[in-house]
Structures are given as C-alpha cells and as structure tokens.
Structure 1
Amino acid sequence: MGRDGRTGRGGRIARRGFLIGSAAIAGGVAFGTYLYQRVLDNPLEAGLRPGEIAITPYVKIDASGITLITPRADVGQGAYSVQAHMIAEELDVRLDQVRIEPGPPSAVYYNGVVGAEALPIAATSESFLARGGRGAADAAGKLLGLQLTGGSTTVPDMYDRLRMAGAVARETLLLAAAAQTGLPVDQLRTEDGAVVLPDEMRLAYVDLGAAAAEIVPPEEVTLRDPSEWRYLGREQMRTDVMAKSTGTQTYGIDLVREDMVYATTRTNPARGSGMLGFDAHDAKAMRGVRAVLAIEGGIAVVADNTWRAFQAAETVQCDWGEPTYPPSSAEQFEMVANSFARKFRDSRFKDEGDVKAALGSSGDGEMLVAEYRIPYLAHAPLEPMSVVVQMGEGRLDIWTGTQIPRFLQANAAALSGLEPEQVHVHVLMSGGSFGRRLEDDYVLQAVEIALQMPGPPIKMVWRREEDFSHDFPRPLALARGRGKVVDGKVSALDLAIAAPSVAESQLGRLKQPAFGPDTAIVAGAWDQPFQIPDYRVTGYRVPAMVPVSSWRSVGASGNGFFHESLMDELCHAAGADPLAERLRLCWHGPSRQVLEAVGEMSGWGSDLEKGRGRGLAFVLSFGVPVAQVVEVTAMEGGIRIDRVFVAADVGRVIDPVNFEAQLQGGVIWGLGHAMNCELTYEGGVAEQDNFHVYEGMRLYQTPEIVVRGLENGTTLKGIGEPGVPPAAPALANAIFAATGQRIRELPLSKSVDFL
C-alpha cells in the first residue's frame, strides 16, 4: 500500500499521461502501451497570455491569480466544487484564492470510468477479467477522448487525476522558489497559496509564475496522506452555495451578449417526424419579429426578446408529419408486452442454478408470479433548454450548459461545415439536467438559426411546453417475475425485463456505434449481490419507439422497482422478515453492512401502531450499495410519508455535506416520480406538457431523511445517482406493510392518494 492506503495506489504516481493503477496496466495490454501512455496536449497552452503558465491541464497561474480547471459539468450536483477541492487539497490553496473554470473541450479531459458501466461486469467482481475490462474501458475513453459527465463518475474518475495535478503544480512551484532563492527544496513548504521559506517569509504562487514557467514539472509526485487532508473527507462549503443562496448564480439561460437577438423553435411534437409545410404570415407581422426560419423538423422565430419569439411561434401554422412509432401509450405498452420473445432477447448476464427446473416443478414450495410496469419519465430540469450561439467569419461560438462538450463541438462542426477547432464551446453552469444535457438537439437547432443569420449572438430558449414534448424520456418498461419459496426461504427468482434500448437511441443521435447487449435494460437487477439457488435475469430489447435517453440512474431507476418489489413479495410469501432474508441471501460484505446499518437506523423490527408501515429496498447501482427504509402512515385521506432512512457505501466519503445532500435529493427525486409522474402519449405526442400535470413531491410532503455513509468498500464511487433506485420500491413496500395493498405499477398515485 502507498501513502494513500485507501486507493491502493503507489506512494509515487507518474505524472506523464496520468497513468494510475491497474487500469493503466490493462489499458496498455489491450490497446498498446505506447498509444495509451502518450501524453495528450494541454489545451490551455494554446491560449496563454504573456505571464500565464499552465503547469498541467488543470492549473493555470498568472499575476492576477490562480485558475483551477474543473472539466466535469456542474448540473447542480456540486461537480465544480468537489473537483476544485481535490486540486486544492494537493496544491495547498484556499478556495477563496482561486477562480474555477470548466475549461475547453479537450481529449485530455476524457472520462475513463464511465465506459465500464456499459460492460457486463458486476461492480462486486474483482476477477482478472473484470479488472481487465475496466482497464480497457479506461483506455478506450482516453483513445476516444470521451469527455463526458454522467454515470456518477466525476469523483471516481477525477479523484487521482486532480489530486495529482495539484501535487505536480505544488512541486513545480517549490522548485521555482528553490531556483529563485537558492534554498534547497527540502527547506521549503507550502501553505495557502504560497511557498514558505525557513524564516517564514512567503512567496505567493502568483509571484512565482514566471519562474515556474522555466521549470520542467517533476515526473513523479507524492500525494499527501489522508491524515494530512484539510478539505477532503471533511465538511466543505460548496463553492456555489453563496451565489445560489442569494440568487446571484449565473446559469446558461442568464447569459447576455451585446447586440443579442432572441429565438425559439417549434418542431414536430411527434419525435423524429418532420414538417410538411408551414404558414408564418401572422407571425411575421407581429411586433419585434425579425425572422421566421425553416429548420429541420419545424420552424424558428427570431425576435427582439424571448417573450415575443414565444408568442409569434405559437401563431405559426405547421403541418406536421405522422409519428413513426405507435401513437398511444396503450399501443406502446402492447409493443413492450410482445417483446418477451426469443428474437428480442438482449442479455442474460445472471443465470445461476436451474431456474427452468425449479419453477417448472410442482414439488415443495410456493410459486409466485407477478408483472410490474413503469412509464416514460421526463427529465424536466428547472432551467429549460437554452443556448447562445454566434456565427462569425470562420468561427462559431456556443455558450450553454452541457455534459458532452466534445460531442457537441464535433456535431456542430459537421452541421456548420467548420473544423472542430473553429467551434468554441463555452460550458456554463446548468440549472439541472438529470441526464437531459447529455443531448445536443437544442444546440444544433440554434446552430441552424445562426447559419441563416450570421453575425449577432442569438439566444435560443425553448418554451416549457416545447421542453416537455421534445424530451428524450426514461424508457417505459415491463417486468415479468416468477419465484419460489421453500421452507420459509426464497429459493428461486426469475425476472424478465423488456424495455427500449437507451444506448441504441442515445448513441445513434451522437453518431456513435452501439455494440452488443444494452446493460441498461437490466442494470440494477442482474448484478445484485444475492446468492439465490436458482436465479435468473433476462433482458429483452423492445424495438425503437419514442426516442429515449439516460435519466438519473438510467436502467436501475426502474429495475430497482422490479427486482425489489419481487424480492419483497417473495420474502412475505416465505413468511420471512424482509431484512433478515436479504441478509441471509447477501454474500457481499459492504452490501450486508449497508443493510445492517439501515435496519439499525430505522429500528427495523420494532412495533409500529396500526396503520403504519415500514418498507425496505436495497439496490446496488453504479457500484454503490444503497439500502432505504421508508416509513408511512395510512390515513383516512391517503398515504403520508413520515421518514426515510438511507445507508450507502461509496468507499470513501469525500464531502460529507454533499454526500448527504445528494442522497436526500435522490430520495426526493425517486419518491416524487414514484408517487405522481408519468409521460403518456396520444397521437404520438406527450400529453404532459408542464409541471402542473407532471407534479413532483411537494415541500409539505417531504419526509425527514436520515443519511449514513459507510466506508467499507474497496473502491471510490460516486453518489449522484445511486440514491434514486431504492426509493420507489421502498415506498411501495411500505404501503403494503401499512395497508396490505400490493402495487405493481408506477406511478403509485394510480392506486393510492398521497397527503
């Protein structure tokens, strides 16, 4: 073990190419050591002004201050803050001494962790093949320059790289101070943005920039031991908390440029279908309207303010093409039900024992058969899709919140006919995403407008109704479950899940190939750490219908409901305690400890008065075991959610405050959607077009949420998404415990009322 025993890294880490641990070894084997170890260009060097130095792609210094580059997008989850703290921990600066910027699109900011989520590798597996697969995914991310924020990967992917970047910058500045003063490096130390000499004289980093520019950064650095940490692992104040608390945070939609004009678009609400024609006579005559333009699939209106663009767009008479998929929700669910057939089988990653024999026999035990259903769900971030674009001579500028800056750059270049380096993407803070900003459709619409109106900056904003109707939702899905209990124990579980493929739909829009089975169809179900004698999970790929996309926790968001509802039904059929039976079946140490913790936190097993109930659910997703207990009271007017207890293990809690906030937010997100939300379709168009008909959890309905973070896992993981999947099944199981009513379809409001 190195000085950082928790990561298993060597005490000294090579800077060149940022090669770290087993992933580097596996990547070298899989892709060739030379290609994998090559040093990627530092994108900051091209735009340096006199007196500036970019010691690494993450640290820039000039006479006016220090800039930290935090390339993972901030969509409200605190990504900028946690990245900055990781650099600052090793660089030895306070966060009030630095500027934070997301940096430009660049291959050097590739995500080496996210690709592993698409592989059929259980997070609990530490086999040689599993480690090799993760290493190959890391190498592929580097070779492809996969700059992407998602999959709860910001912390696990950037943890070593950003600390190392800070350490390299710190050691370079120490060398610069030594060269300037003639003192040995071992007589110098750093503190709060300065090198401190033996006589306590301080040389500010900003004053050492010119000298540091003449220093070759060290090839190796030693990372600080966690016992020396000032920020990581301790309560931190997020860098955006003051701005967000005072209403001064600037989001993409707030951007104003000189001489800006304003636009909005209307395209066929039947996704993927075109426009046959339009009549804009009335719109063109309205006050402030500059132009009505044809774009792919619809029209754009350009005006002197956003409201006038909105109003004019509504008057345009559009002749829409017919939908290319089943037009109604009933027909769509029928298509899903018809996909439980061998020709649609996509995967069977879990197939232990002999399920066919176990469930086909009429011997001892009790059989259980159940079908579960979940709807389409919208992303619906509070900040609607918005972007500012400006087309100049041989240059296109784009300002927006995005999770895919390099994909966006490439697609905008292809659309405009420019080279990628002529497209300048300026990433801004996002007012929510939940996966929606993994798409660039709204940006490409704005580029179409700019191509027809070069010169002025154009702010394009969607109406909320356009945002809802043109979302790429979380897929609808059906699950058919069977199981058997013998002698008071769960002995067989067979779960078949049918859903459209997120990978096929989303990667197709990004012009990327989608190979092999889609793990998202069964994620959060096939990879659960239970040792059931006869255990099988099968995924069926429904032919493409409404275009779909990643939604917070992706496949696990629905599969957690399927798996844990079936598991709970089997436990009750066996007459077994749901917690005790899960513990009996669970073979994975950290998962067992999470279950034990939530049981202790919630007082599981203690008596509740009549009409009250506790529901338990456990889901391991994104490598994070999470257990939740929901307490409810069945009252005369409906169900009241009283308390929620959450235990999760991410290996190491980097920011305790944000860890708690992310889990609480995940619970609220999961419960609110489980209670009320769905997208239904008629005529190929989503019927829910604003929040009044797509209602999340209200403030008065929000329960007390108690969180506990465990640190027994061997690998550092992220927490943005894993809190979501257990919420829906825990609530449904609690309703059963309180009322005896078993609900197998979301949203739950179809079956019960909530207070």
Structure 2
Amino acid sequence: DYGIDMQMPGMVIATTRTNPAIGGGLIGFDAEIARKMRGVQAILPITGGIAVVADNTWRAFQAAQAVECDWGPAPYPANSADQFETVANSFTDDHQDSRLKDQGNVADALLHGPLIKAEYRIPYLAHAPLEPMSVVVQLSRQRLDIWTGTQIPRFVQANMARLTELDAENVHVHVLMSGGSFGRRLEDDYIAQAVEIAMQLPDTPIKMIWQREEDFTHDFPRPLAIAHARGTVKSGAVDAFDLSIAAPSVAESSLARLRQPAIGPDVAIVAGAWDQPYSIPHYRVTGYRVPAMVPISSWRSVGASGNSFMHESFFDELCHAAGTDPLAERLRVCWHMPSQKVLEAVAEMSNWGSDPGPGRGRGVAFTLSFGVPVAEVIEVTQTDQGIRIDRAFVAADVGRVLDPKNFEAQVQGGVIFGLGHAMNCELTYENGVPQQDNYHVYEGMRMHQTPEIIVRGLENGAKIRGIGEPAVPPAAPALANAIFAATGKRIRELPLSKSIDFV
C-alpha cells in the first residue's frame, strides 16, 4: 500500500491548513462556517495552523478552505529578489565555507588573459512528488502507530516519541511505499501534524492527507545558488578554471530539524563541481555559505543537481573560447578511466563530430556524482515556435548493471526529471509565500516534449553503484550547451524558459 491508499476500520480523514508564509504562525481563526459543513467532525488547532477532521477527503479539503485564518508574518526574506541579493552578497571571506579544489596557481593564471567570466543562477526547486504528504496514525495511551512512506523511520520514531512523551519502543513506524519523494520524505513535519491531531483524538485511526497546494507551499526546496566563474585558455585548450558557488547549507537546515549537528563544511554546496576528474592546470572551486533563509532540504542528486549546470556550462564556454571541441576537451583533461569510457561511449552513440544539419545542435555534459560517471549528449532543433529536444544519449558506469531494464528506466527517468526542471521549473517567493502551488504553474516536461533517450550501461567501475540520482545532473547543462550550439545563445540562468521557448 501507499499511505494515501491505506484503509482501517473506523478511520477518519484529516487535512491541515497552515500559514502559507514559511515559518509564520497562526494568530487566530474563525471556523463557524466550516463546522456546519457536511461531514465535518472536528476543527482543531495545530502548530502554525488548523486541522479539519471529516468523513472523506473532499469534505475535509473544502472545510479547510472555509476556515478564516489570521496569519502571522514570515520570519524569512519575503521576496525572491531579496533572497538572491542575500546570495549575491555572500561572496566574502567571512562566508567562505570550503575550497576543496585548488590546483596550480589560479590567481596568477587569471592575470594572463584574456579573462573569460560569467555568472550563473539556479532557483529554488520543489520536490513535488505525485503522492502528496500522507500518513495514517493511531495513538492510544501507551502506543503510537504510524503508517507512511518515509526515508527516515528511526528519526520519525525518536521525534514522535518526544512529541507524545512516549518511550521510543512504544512508537511503531510502519514504512509503506512512497508515491515519489526525491528527498521530500527526508522530513517528518507532516507526520508531526498528524500526531498532533491524534493527541486530540486518542484511539481513533486518522489518515491525514495534504492538499496539493499545501504540499507545494510547505515544501523544503532545493536551495537557490549563484556561481561566479572565471577562466582562461591557452594554445587551444582550457588553462584556468575558477568557480565560486554561493548557496545556503542543506546540511545546516535539514540536520537542525533532525536535532543533529552540522559539523564542518557543507560539501553539498560544491558537489558536482569540486569532485570532477578533470586535470586542468589551474583549477579552483570555492564554496560560500549563505546565511539561512527559507528551510531547505536535499533534492534528487543534491548539490550536483544545480552545480553541474554551472560547472559544465562554463567549461563549455571555455572550450568554445579556446576553439576546441567540447567533448574532445573533456576527454583530454579527464584522468579517470571509467569517466573517459562514458565520454567515448556517448561520442560514438551520438555520432559526435558529424554535422547535425541546419538549425540543429548537440550539447555534451559530464558529471561524476555518487561514484557514477555519466556523460550525456542532447540534440535539439530550433523551430519557428521554439526549441525542440530530439534525442538524448546517455552513458553511465555503475560498476555492474544488475538489472538492465531498471537501469534503463532509472536513467530515462532521471534525464526527464533533469530536463523538465531545467526547462520550466522554479519556486519563487512573494511576501514570504511560494508563488507556485500546483502543477499548472510548476510544469515538468510534457509527454510530447520528451525526446528519444538512448541509454548504455558500462561496467568499468570498481564498485557497484546506484543509478537513481546520477543521470539528473548532466541533463540541464547538456541541454543548455545544445541550445548554444543550435542558436548561438548562451543561457546562464534556470529555468531556461525564462530566456527561450520550447515546443
């Protein structure tokens, strides 16, 4: 069962409505109209909002919207422009979090130009799983049972024991299938809400389901980030590459909610950039920790999801400035044999180097993440209506492909996930409230836009690795690089649809 489908005898349905401004509280509410609505059994206060208990989901949802709530202000920067300004102001010595890559003499090399520089930006992204947050709970005097899809059952057990003042051994977490997560179910906020309801309705099995709008506006998104990139080329090759990335810390934010310390630098700020197997003469990657803003969390492929766009797009810029082939240059600087092999494979698969034809372009990107090297080539066509994505070629090395069909499916799903978010998706804030609250304003890739995706699994790696996340990061830069190849337009901010149309 999925949590949203589970049934129990005597079960009631609940939903919640909390302050749409993240972190804001509830000053008061008027539920007079909602209490008179058909099927409504109770309207209860919970932390930051209200809960409606009814005899079915639809009636609970309708009643929740009928409650008049007086919301408190948000404690975080209210608007996206303010948030990006905070990021932009964080490229300072006192905000430096890490410098995990520093080879050669970057400072000196940058003096011997011509200097190539660019700024890249990526937005907040929602997790938006198809199954909204849902959980079934039942609390008696000495026992709490929880049925839900979760990635953190032990933390759920400990945190709900603390909330109910039960011994942890009396809190039983039954892990169900999840209808998508992408990192969202690393949080237990929705479970705590259901337990708060159960504490007011003991001995009653309660299924709590969030409305889709509640799911979007109370997500813990992937963080926004800005990168400052500088580089030089010499003798037809990349000579210096200096990448500085400023972003809030996922570890600091998410571990605090789990009551765990975040010790040392946050590697996620520079993941997918500092750890690439490129031997560039002068190569530096620096991370800057942005002061905490809205609560954030891990998102499918974590830091590499956005950093790969910034790293691989600028590497492409340097290749074009040097007058060298972008795939050949990646092969030239790559020192890691399995990574070399995926680049060679994707070159052969895509017939790289051949003329794609008028109005068409190919882009390549490579990312080593989670121990898995992945190379992707995207082919696009420029039409009168916009960019059409024709084909995607992907080579990945997980050491041993144990299940070829699932391997192919995970890679294809990862590419679609990466492309769709790169094309269309962002989470923006106005007056402290997320402006995207459902799929009609947070569109992924539609079926008619999905390209043919050709996948090859290689087995040169020394260890068996997972493939659920590594196909995501190279998709965005491969697409952006393909658009440049077809149009001559270099796009440095996601989503790409802010700068170009897709068909």
Q: Does residue 1:710 correspond to 2:461, yes or no?
A: no
Return the alpha-carbon distance in structure 2 between the equivalents of residues 490 and 411 of structure 1: 51
Return the alpha-carbon distance in structure 2 between the equivalents of residues 319 and 495 of structure 1: 45
Amino acid at match of 1:480: H
In the alignment, which residue of structure 1 is the partner of 2:35?
A: 284
**Superposition map of 1:592-611 within 5 A:** 592-611=340-359
Report if the CA contact (8 A) 1:278-1:317 is conserved.
yes
Counterpart of 2:49 (choices 271, 291, 298) is: 298
Return the alpha-carbon distance in structure 1 between the equivalents of residues 262 and 449 of structure 2: 41
CA displacement at 1:331 relative to structure 2: 0.6
Q: Which runs of 4+ in 1 moved over 4 A?
A: none
**Superposition map of 1:77-156 within 5 A:** none
CA displacement at 1:393 relative to structure 2: 2.6
**Greater helix percent: which structure?**
1
Counterpart of 1:613 (choices 344, 352, 361) is: 361
The one-character-per-residue Cα deviations of 1:621-649 (angstroms, maximum 9, x if unpaired) are 11110000000000110000000000011
Other structure's SS at 2:23 match: coil
Return the alpha-carbon distance in structure 1 between the equivalents of residues 83 and 103 of structure 2: 32
Counterpart of 1:665 (choices 413, 422, 433) is: 413
CA displacement at 1:287 relative to structure 2: 1.5
Other structure's SS at 2:159 match: helix
In the alignment, which residue of structure 1 is the partner of 2:98?
A: 347
Other structure's SS at 1:333 match: helix
The one-character-per-residue Cα deviations of 1:441-478 (angstroms, maximum 9, x if unpaired) are 00010000000100110010000000000000000110
Q: Does residue 1:502 correspond to 2:253, yes or no?
A: no
Q: Does residue 1:529 correspond to 2:277, yes or no?
A: yes
In the alignment, which residue of structure 1 is the partner of 2:265?
A: 517
Return the alpha-carbon distance in structure 2 between the equivalents of residues 663 and 384 of structure 1: 24
Counterpart of 1:470 (choices 215, 218, 222) is: 218
Q: Does residue 1:632 correspond to 2:368, yes or no?
A: no
Other structure's SS at 2:115 match: strand
CA displacement at 1:366 relative to structure 2: 2.8
Counterpart of 1:696 (choices 421, 444, 447) is: 444
Return the alpha-carbon distance in structure 2 between the equivalents of residues 593 and 402 of structure 1: 37
In the alignment, which residue of structure 2 is the partner of 1:483?
A: 231
Amino acid at match of 1:690: N
Return the alpha-carbon distance in structure 1 between the equivalents of residues 163 and 327 of structure 2: 55
Counterpart of 1:315 (choices 48, 58, 66) is: 66
In the alignment, which residue of structure 2 is the partner of 1:207?
A: none
Amino acid at match of 1:282: I
**Superposition map of 1:413-452 within 5 A:** 413-452=161-200
CA displacement at 1:271 relative to structure 2: 1.5
Q: Does residue 1:579 correspond to 2:330, yes or no?
A: no
**Superposition map of 1:316-395 within 5 A:** 316-359=67-110, 361=111, 363=112, 365-395=113-143
Return the alpha-carbon distance in structure 2 between the equivalents of residues 369 and 490 of structure 1: 13
Counterpart of 1:549 (choices 294, 297, 303) is: 297
Return the alpha-carbon distance in structure 2 between the equivalents of residues 673 and 708 of structure 1: 23
Other structure's SS at 1:678 match: coil
The one-character-per-residue Cα deviations of 1:501-551 (angstroms, maximum 9, x if unpaired) are 100111111111110000000000000000111100000111111100000
In the alignment, which residue of structure 1 is the partner of 2:432?
A: 684
Amino acid at match of 1:302: V
Amino acid at match of 2:99: R
Unmatched segments (≥5 aa) in structure 1:
1-249
Report if the CA contact (8 A) 1:366-1:486 is conserved.
no
Return the alpha-carbon distance in structure 2 between the equivalents of residues 508 and 383 of structure 1: 26
Report if the CA contact (8 A) 1:288-1:308 is conserved.
yes
Counterpart of 2:19 (choices 242, 253, 268) is: 268
The one-character-per-residue Cα deviations of 1:402-450 (angstroms, maximum 9, x if unpaired) are 1111101111111011011101111111111111111110001000000
Return the alpha-carbon distance in structure 1 between the equivalents of residues 31 and 11 of structure 2: 23
The one-character-per-residue Cα deviations of 1:640-694 (angstroms, maximum 9, x if unpaired) are 0000000011111111111111000000000000000000100111000000000
CA displacement at 1:282 relative to structure 2: 1.3
Q: Does residue 1:725 correspond to 2:476, yes or no?
A: no
Amino acid at match of 2:189: D
Amino acid at match of 2:430: E
Amino acid at match of 1:287: R
Report if the CA contact (8 A) 1:679-1:688 is conserved.
yes
Return the alpha-carbon distance in structure 1 between the equivalents of residues 114 and 336 of structure 2: 27
Return the alpha-carbon distance in structure 2 between the equivalents of residues 592 and 650 of structure 1: 14
Amino acid at match of 1:452: Q
Other structure's SS at 1:252 match: coil
Other structure's SS at 1:599 match: helix
Return the alpha-carbon distance in structure 2 between the equivalents of residues 397 and 614 of structure 1: 53
Specify which structure has the bigger relative contact order, considering alpha-carbon pairs within 8 angstroms and separated by 6 or more residues.
2
Return the alpha-carbon distance in structure 2 between the equivalents of residues 501 and 622 of structure 1: 19
The one-character-per-residue Cα deviations of 1:67-109 (angstroms, maximum 9, x if unpaired) are xxxxxxxxxxxxxxxxxxxxxxxxxxxxxxxxxxxxxxxxxxx
Q: Does residue 1:646 correspond to 2:394, yes or no?
A: yes
CA displacement at 1:259 relative to structure 2: 0.4
Return the alpha-carbon distance in structure 1 between the equivalents of residues 138 and 78 of structure 2: 37
The one-character-per-residue Cα deviations of 1:313-371 (angstroms, maximum 9, x if unpaired) are 11111111111111000110000000111111110000111111111x2x3x4321000
Other structure's SS at 1:253 match: coil
In the alignment, which residue of structure 1 is the partner of 2:313?
A: 565
Amino acid at match of 2:44: L
| TM-score (normalizing by structure 2) | 0.99
Other structure's SS at 1:580 match: helix
Other structure's SS at 1:465 match: helix
**Superposition map of 1:206-225 within 5 A:** none
Return the alpha-carbon distance in structure 1 between the equivalents of residues 116 and 226 of structure 2: 17
CA displacement at 1:280 relative to structure 2: 1.3
Amino acid at match of 2:280: I
Other structure's SS at 2:379 match: strand
Amino acid at match of 1:301: V
Return the alpha-carbon distance in structure 2 between the equivalents of residues 716 and 518 of structure 1: 26
**Greater strand percent: which structure?**
2
CA displacement at 1:281 relative to structure 2: 1.4
Q: Percent identity?
A: 75
Task: Indicate the structure (1 or 2) with the bigger Cα radius of gyration.
Answer: 1
Other structure's SS at 1:708 match: strand
Report if the CA contact (8 A) 1:500-1:521 is conserved.
yes
The one-character-per-residue Cα deviations of 1:700-729 (angstroms, maximum 9, x if unpaired) are 111000000111011111110000000000
Q: Does residue 1:752 correspond to 2:503, yes or no?
A: no
Return the alpha-carbon distance in structure 2 between the equivalents of residues 563 and 574 of structure 1: 17
Counterpart of 2:10 (choices 259, 271, 281) is: 259
Return the alpha-carbon distance in structure 2 between the equivalents of residues 694 and 302 of structure 1: 29
Report if the CA contact (8 A) 1:263-1:459 is conserved.
yes
Amino acid at match of 1:474: R
CA displacement at 1:285 relative to structure 2: 1.7
The count of residues paired between Structure 1 and Structure 2 equals: 503
Return the alpha-carbon distance in structure 2 between the equivalents of residues 607 and 562 of structure 1: 27
Q: Does residue 1:396 correspond to 2:144, yes or no?
A: yes
Other structure's SS at 1:665 match: helix
| TM-score (normalizing by structure 1) | 0.66
